[in-house]
Structure 1
Amino acid sequence: ADTVATEAGFSSADCALAMLQLRPGAPMVVVPSTQAACRPGTFRLSFFAEGGASADRSGVHVRPLPAGCSTGSNGEWASQYSGRGRSRGQARSTGGGSRAEPSFGTNPQFALWREPRGVATSYDNGDDDDGGDDAHVRLTLVLSRPERPWAGALRSPDQMADAMFGLHVFLDASDRHRVERAPLDGRTDQPDAPWLIHETCYTPSCELRCTLKLRLDLAHRLLLVPATFGPAQFGPFHIAVHSDRALAMEECVVCE
């Protein structure tokens, strides 16, 4: 996880002061914020280096980072599942285990897609929507789970291996509905089957992350499939996505 080097402010309405020690080649991210959300206003961010020199003259460079998009969703590997949204199916487990298990396709699925320009756009690099590198996105995916509900399984010698978790990323170029569950039974003879483009290692920790750069056309979607190593491992998790493009994410449902 990222480390907070220092935190200052929230005691004065006029200014906040902090001292930092920089190492060559190790950039820091400075995040100005108000104490409460939804407090619009302007601010000025100034940097001063040792000896009274300005930041630029001392070799310290300050660059604004492009605005990005962050989204997330809570999920659960559940022992019973009755369906949601458009269709309600029969009760079944969503703890499908890894891709080595025949039940892998029952794991929760999350659809991730690009928003078209002008719809909740938080980053615009000036390219046309259908050309250049506009279809390329940078993603940081974070899968986490609360420690307390998983403590027993992760400490048990008999259950720890099965309770390890990982994340699978599929590209779905079919004409399915945006939030329709896709068949992930491992068959390769289906012309519209999603393609596995990335999978993480399984870990007994409570957080894992990966960073991807890929092409994602407006007509396509990614399927994020978290899974435990063994089947029938039940408990909550959270999946978060951070990107340089405007994205939308929603848990998939069974559609008829």
Structure 2
Amino acid sequence: MTAPTPLIAGNWKMHGLAASLDEARAVAAALAGGVGAKATRVAICPAAPLISRMAQALAGSRVETGGQDCRAEASGAFTGDVAAEMLADAGATLVILGHSERRAGHGEDDALVAAKVGAALRAGLEPIICVGEALDQRESGHALSVVIGQVRGSLPAGLAGRPFSVAYEPVWAIGTGLTPTTPEIEEMHRAIRRVLGEMFGPAADRAPILYGGSVKPSNAAEILHAAEVGGALVGGASLKADDFLEIIRALG
């Protein structure tokens, strides 16, 4: 089994103006100064208007720039949407797809997420594909079947041999301060790893499985050292360099 390269990705969501780039610069400077393991990849995914400026600000650093979503089509009459090719042209190298806030707030289903993953691959972007169950699904005992279904439905065959990651984000934990227990996280990540192997073979061992859902400095070490956790997709704690760096340090 080939161990995946860990990835810590910050999702700024709909936060951040030009002045916020100083936080990203501070992360890059700390990494250059030796903070965090050199093998760990670090990315920040700002809102679309900041992508180009962030890519320029972080050029030559260890911090990669990502997008938060993309349209499946390469171009067209889709007012307000952003194509994967546009993200790449702006300097992004990764893109978050299928986030629960997109699935719930914008009605995105697995088929649409899979189409967007295909668009990301078409544009040369590395997709971070999000999956996760709602609280009622967890409480009814269907968490595993729901997430496994999302993995099978959201990851197209075109991912075979390509770099990607899966982010497990229990919907009920995002922004609530709640997190699953370590055994619950490990159970889900092991199940995702098993399904990735069934879908893509041994090459899928290289894909990190990230945990997302109220990751913060106080719980990062326990989460990041759980079995099959290959990094984190960090929300609010990624907006401040000091907090984000503490999470990066926690990976060791």
User: TM > 0.5 between the two?
Assistant: no
Higher helix share: 2
TM-score normalised according to structure 1 size: 0.28
Higher RCO, 1 or 2 (CA under 8 Å, sep at least 6)?
Answer: 1
Higher strand share: 1
